[in-house]
Every structure is written in structure tokens, then in C-alpha cells.
Amino acid sequence: MANIVILGAGVMGSAFSTPLSDNGHSVRLVGTHLDTDIIEEIHETHVHPRLRSRLNESVQPFTYDRLDEALVAADLVVLGVNSLGVEWAAQMLGPRLPANFPLLFLTKGLAGDGHALQTLPHRLRAGLPPERQRDVRLNAVGGPSIAGELAERRHTCVVVTGNDAPLIERFAGYMRTPYYHVWTSTDLIGVETCVAMKNVYALAVGLVGGLLEKDGVAPNDAVMFNVAAGLFAQGLWEIAYMVDVMGGDRRSVYSLPGAGDLYVTSMGGRNARMGRYLALGTPFSEAKRTYMPDDTIEGAQLAQAIGPTVETMLADGRLDGDAIPLLRTMINIVCHDAPVAIPWDSFFAGPHKA
């Protein structure tokens, strides 16, 4: 059995301990500096306070100041921090990782430096000491996975990806259970681009709740499934373009990391709540400040993380604006408080073909 360290005791990192510990692996769940209360609760009751699910008794909780202890004889480190915690994770892990050590990312997002876009695994690698940047092995899990469902052992389908096919097959073996179904892919760039970009398009689909509330249900009880479907389809179209730009494999778009993850993320949650406020006419900055000050809205967070870089790449021609009208719209809404105006007549254009 393997010794597996999960860094980050949020809902997804903690839920991920379930299939691993069900398979008999030693799982050490290390909270970040923001997770102290969660780790204390797990230590006392083994119930995660946000998941409201009981973790296996074999899962060992650690506070972040005990990371050295947790890493002893570790075979794998799983990154379960949020996207804003990647640089912190690099600082914590950099001095402690042995040579040629594998990392497995649950963290989703893209990073922009004002000039170019990077996946978060590559962003973390850039934050490691130079002697570790060359040999750290980057891997990730992607696909439609709601943490609460995984913690309760509902059937879940994901992809584990990395550049070393035998290695990712070994990791898939660590995870597979009768309820956790795992496929492998060597398209790390494509998978990570899909699972990041889906958040901003889920926010776009979330606009429909507010549009429907504003216009009302029709006299014949018609709602706005057509509207949501159009936004969903355009989102996939644009994800395909972005995967091309990033150098990934478009096959990831039309499977679990793209279509599957966009579907599950569009079903509700914080993106949908924020989308409703936006479509009802509240500017993003006001909606965030007034209604969701303590919530992480993943679609908005991604728009803010990549928006300035996307605008630079549009200005210098490295991105084709005709290919991403919905992304441009969502960046304007989130980053510049623009009103909601869906550019329907610009959809399904641009230089690429489905």
C-alpha cells in the first residue's frame, strides 16, 4: 500500500481521501494555514465540517506545521489547495521534496502573468527551487467530481493525466474503487485547460437563472433551457479553441474534462448564484461585495486570474477575438463591471472548426 499526503483539507482534498483510504492506502491529510479549524474538527470527530461527511478513521489529520512529519516515506503528494494557494504550496513543498518526486493536482485553474497563460501544475513548478523544477513529475486529476458526492461514494468518473503513462496508470490503480471510475490520459495540457476554463463558462450558464427571473416563466410554462444550452455549447466551442492555443489535445474537450466537467459545474452552486445576480443587473464588484463576500466564485476567480493576460494576447494577435466572444464577454462582466449582454450573433465563429 502507498503512503499518500494530501495538502489542503478543503472539500475536494478531503473527499479525495475516501477512495484512497477505502483501498487501504495510508492517507495523511495536511491542512493549509487556513484549515486549522477543519483539521481540529476532523481530529476530534473525523467529520469534515463543510462536507458534513465522516472520513475514514484511517485518514490522519495534520496541521501544516507538521508537514515534515507527514511527508516521511511519502510515495505521492496530492495538491488540494485552492488556485490562490499554489504559490504557498510551492514554498512549502520546494525545500522538502526529494528528487524526481511525483505530484498529483486536484487544484484547478489557469494563471496569467500579463503575457502568457500557464496551467497551475506548471505555475507551481516555476515556483520551486531551480534544482527541483527539472525533475518534479506533474500529474493531475480532472473531470466531473462534486466533492460531497465523492465523499458519500456516489459513482464518479474522472481522468488522471500526466506525461508518464506507466506512472499515471499506477496512480489510477491507487484510486479505482467500485464507485470511483478512473481513466488515464497523457494530455496534461488539454485536461488542465478544460477543467480550468469550464468554470468561466459555468458562470455564463449561471446567467440564465437571473434572465429567467427577470423575464418570468412564459404563460405556457416555458423556461430557458434553450438559452442555457446555447451558452453551454458555445462554452465547449471556446474551450476547444483554448485547448488548441495551449497545445493540448481536443479529444479532452469532448469527454470528462471538458463536456463532463462543464455539465456538472453548470448544475448549480456558487457560479449559478453569482450568475443570477449579474443577470438581474447587479455589477460584479457590487454583487461580490454585497451578496457573496466570503465565497469563492470559481468562474469569476478564473476571469480575474487570466483576464488581463487574455486582453494582452487579444491585442497582440496571439488570440483571435472572433473565436472567444463569450470569454471576452465574461471577462468584461467580471473585470470591468460590464452589464450582461450575450453576443449571440458572434457564436460559433473564429478560425477553428469543431
Which grid coordinates are listed for 28?
495523511
Q: How many CB atoms lie within 10 A of CB 280?
A: 15
User: Is residue 108 among the annotated active site residues?
Assistant: no
Q: Which of 108, 198, 214, 353 is catalytic?
A: 198
| Per-residue burial over 304-319, b = 16 or more CB atoms within 10 Å of its CB, e = otherwise | bbbbebbbbbbeeeeb
Contact between 327 and 310 under an 8 Å Cβ cutoff? The reply is yes
What's the CA gap between 192 and 98, in Å, rounded? 25
What type of residue is 8? G
Reference 142, options 101, 102, 100, 171; nearest CA is 171
DSSP for residue 27:
E
What's the CA gap between 58 and 21, in Å, rounded? 7
Contact between 99 and 62 under an 8 Å Cβ cutoff? The reply is no
Reference 232, options 272, 181, 270, 192; nearest CA is 272
Reference 25, options 176, 178, 181; nearest CA is 176
What's the CA gap between 46 and 23, in Å, rounded? 18
Contacts by residues 339-343 (CB-CB < 8 Å, ≥ 24 positions apart): 339/281, 339/283, 340/207, 340/210, 340/211, 340/278, 340/279, 340/281, 342/207, 342/231
Active site positions, annotated: 198
